[in-house]
Structure 1
Amino acid sequence: MKIALLGYGRMGKEIEKIAIQRGHEIVIKTSGKDSYDITTADVAIDFSIPSSAYNNISNCINHNIPVVSGTTGWLDKYNDIVSLCNEKKGAFIYASNFSLGVNIFFELNKQLAKMMSNLSQYNISIEEIHHTKKLDAPSGTAITLAEGIIDNTAKKAWELDKKSSEDIIPIKAVRTPDVPGTHTITYESEVDSIDIKHTAHNRQGFALGAVIASEWLHNKTGVFTMNDVLNIG
């Protein structure tokens, strides 16, 4: 396939390596406001910045180019993209994290939340650790984890840097140099604690998942998730 990389930072460069290893051609590499002709690509992978993501994604859909996006921090416009994709009969996948392991972790998180839902003696919290150059906090992955818990328990919302309460899941966001991403869910009572944790050792897992998603999306129509790509959940 001919791939457009919309966002050519550290993730974009990692995606480029893996895409080429898998036999694909990179026809566009853009950052910021560079001009480009998206119609030269078979599929686009967006790992840009939050202020650019909506325009990148809508431009692809308007030109009938399937697009995979891993940019977080723009999701207040997600429903607008879904409507546009359905209207134009386009193809779109958004994931807060494309790592195959993390998407399995998302499902484990939901199952544990179901099992713990009637045990009110346990307080629930989330901690995420990322590199200091990450622009948003909490991470999109942490938000997805919180939403998975909210959907399966009596919790109603998440809040950053708050104490646990009957309705709230607190998320702690830590920024440390050179950490690709670590996410921990903790259920804690007076007598014991239960933790589930995912630790990324490098960015290769995120990049591989994004390329696999773009391969899967090519020649499809609709709005999908990584559960569709992996046939889980």
Structure 2
Amino acid sequence: MKIALIGYGKMGKTIEQIAKERGHEIVLTIDINNQDELTVENLKKADVAIEFTIPASAIANYEVCLKSGVPVVSGTTGWLDKKEDVIKMMNDNDGTFFYASNFSLGVNLFFALNKRLAKLMEGRSEYDVRMEEVHHTQKLDAPSGTAITLAEDLFDILPSKNSWTLDEPKSESEMNIKAIRERQVPGIHRIRYESDIDYIEIEHSAKSRHGFALGAVLAAEFSFGKKGMLTMNDLLNI
């Protein structure tokens, strides 16, 4: 499979390594120094594009990929306020868009565990829930896209919570997410339910970027030949 890499930082380089190990060819690499090369003509050389950039450039990147007819796999977070626009763009171009806030197999199992624990805690008012996420200092968005996904899954289940805040909650319906930035931390997410007498906590901690990168390549393989909006639930059949 021929892959276009949009975003060639540490994650992009790890994706490149894994893609080549799996027998794929990188036919286009885009970073901050050659953004003018991200064209429909150049993208037509690829079977799929993998996009890991920043929120400010993501939407424009999706547009040129979809106009070129190339499936796009994206792990960029911080743009979901434009999600409906992206879906329309995808439909208008009869395209393929695979999005995940986190491509790690372990994190997506953690998503399922989070929902299961929330169902068990539903209606138990003696427990309050909060979240903590820790990432490297180069991560621009806070909280992380993974933390937001975890929070939204909680809100769908727990009647006592309907929004998150990085600050001290102003009401019982708000959930605090503590976002910590430290050097060389690939990603840690913790969810804690605490009462006056005990607490229950679940955690996922990434050891390296390898799991995220492998998931992105698997998503690219899965997207080839398909149409529409795809997620890790489709890939993992969760």
Give the TM-score normalised by the residue count of structure 1.
0.97
Q: 1:189 aligns with which of 182, 192, 195?
A: 195
State how far apart, in whole Å, the 2-side matches of 1:90 and 1:162 are.
42
What's the offset of the Cα at 1:165? 4.4
- 2:204 counterpart of 1:198: yes
Could you list the per-position Cα deviations for residues 120-161 of structure 1 after superposition, in whole angstroms to 9, with x for gaps in the alignment?
111100000000111111100000000010011111111113
Q: 2:172 aligns with which of 162, 166, 187?
A: 166
Corresponding position of 1:45: 50
Corresponding position of 2:30: 30
Q: 1:69 aligns with which of 52, 57, 74?
A: 74
Corresponding position of 1:138: 143
Q: Matches of residues 56-95 of structure 1 in structure 2 within 5 Å?
A: 56-95=61-100
State how far apart, in whole Å, the 2-side matches of 1:173 and 1:71 are.
18
Q: What secondary structure sits across from 1:40 in the alignment?
A: coil
Q: Matches of residues 4-23 of structure 1 in structure 2 within 5 Å?
A: 4-23=4-23
Structure 2 residue identity aligned to 1:115: L
Which 10-residue stretch deviates more, 81-90 or 3-12? 81-90
Q: What secondary structure sits across from 1:48 in the alignment?
A: coil
What's the offset of the Cα at 1:162? 2.1
Q: Which runs of 5+ in 1 are unaligned?
A: none
- 2:118 counterpart of 1:116: no
What's the offset of the Cα at 1:35? 1.5
Q: What secondary structure sits across from 1:93 in the alignment?
A: strand
Which 10-residue stretch deviates more, 140-149 or 55-64? 55-64
What's the offset of the Cα at 1:20? 0.3
Q: Which runs of 5+ in 2 are unaligned?
A: none
- 2:182 counterpart of 1:179: no
Number of aligned pairs? 232
State how far apart, in whole Å, the 2-side matches of 1:112 and 1:38 are.
43
Corresponding position of 1:2: 2
Structure 2 residue identity aligned to 1:198: H
State how far apart, in whole Å, the 2-side matches of 1:100 and 1:210 are.
10
- 2:230 counterpart of 1:228: no
Could you list the per-position Cα deviations for residues 31-74 of structure 1 after superposition, in whole angstroms to 9, with x for gaps in the alignment?
13241311111000000111111011111111110000000111
Give the TM-score normalised by the residue count of structure 2.
0.95
State how far apart, in whole Å, the 1-side matches of 2:111 and 2:36 are.
35
Structure 2 residue identity aligned to 1:16: E
Could you list the per-position Cα deviations for residues 76-108 of structure 1 after superposition, in whole angstroms to 9, with x for gaps in the alignment?
211111111122211111111000110110111
Corresponding position of 1:128: 133
Could you list the per-position Cα deviations for residues 211-233 of structure 1 after superposition, in whole angstroms to 9, with x for gaps in the alignment?
0001000000010111001000x
What is the RMSD of the two structures over their aligned residues, measured on CA atoms? Answer: 1.0
Structure 2 residue identity aligned to 1:31: D
CA 1:44 to 1:208, structure 2 compared with 1: closer, same or farther past 3 Å?
same
Corresponding position of 2:223: 217
What's the offset of the Cα at 1:164? 7.8
Could you list the per-position Cα deviations for residues 172-215 of structure 1 after superposition, in whole angstroms to 9, with x for gaps in the alignment?
00001000000000000001100000000000000000000010
State how far apart, in whole Å, the 1-side matches of 2:228 and 2:139 are.
30
